[in-house]
Amino acid sequence: MSRKSLKGLVIPESEMKVRFSPSGGPGGQHANKANTRVELTWNVYESTVIGAEDKERINRKYGPVLRIVVDETRSQSRNREIAQSRLLAKAVSALETPKNRVATKPSKSAKARRVSSKKHRGELKRLRRSPNLDDD
């Protein structure tokens, strides 16, 4: 049983369903006869290698079944390797927890710069006004 792993996550090939089909596009006789397109699916909820919390996290991001389709190369085995690595990368990306944002406050100098620029802008607008000649 072959396994693929990335950042501690190991998905046994027995849990992946692989389907082969002819890839489209140019390629002549080889493209018409060879089943080089790979469709790889992995049902997250049937998996035994990850816990319930991780299953929920993957489900929220990608759904209960991860599906990868690759038909980039002329080789079925190479397409299969690419599909497996993409599936693993997709699962790992769903398991990464985002960093919590730490709220920051502007410094005193930043506040002073902002107020100064607002006053400067207001002064420019005041100078653009036509002079008031009603002071007779």
Give the domain CATH number at 32.
Answer: 3.30.160.20
Domain that holds residue 23: 3-95
State the Rg of the chain over Cα: 29
| Res 112 pLDDT > 90 | yes
> Could you tell me if residue 132 is inside a domain?
no
Please tell me the pTM assigned to this model.
Answer: 0.67
Place of tokens 């140019």: 26
> Could you tell me if residue 33 is inside a domain?
yes
Q: 39-93 pLDDT, tens per residue?
A: 999 999 898 888 899 899 999 999 999 999 999 888 899 999 999 999 999 998 8
pLDDT score of 1? 38
> Could you tell me if residue 136 is inside a domain?
no
pLDDT score of 8? 74
Number of domains in the chain: 1
> Could you tell me if residue 13 is inside a domain?
yes
> Could you tell me if residue 118 is inside a domain?
no
Structure tokens belonging to residue 9: 């996550």
Eight-class DSSP state of 41: E
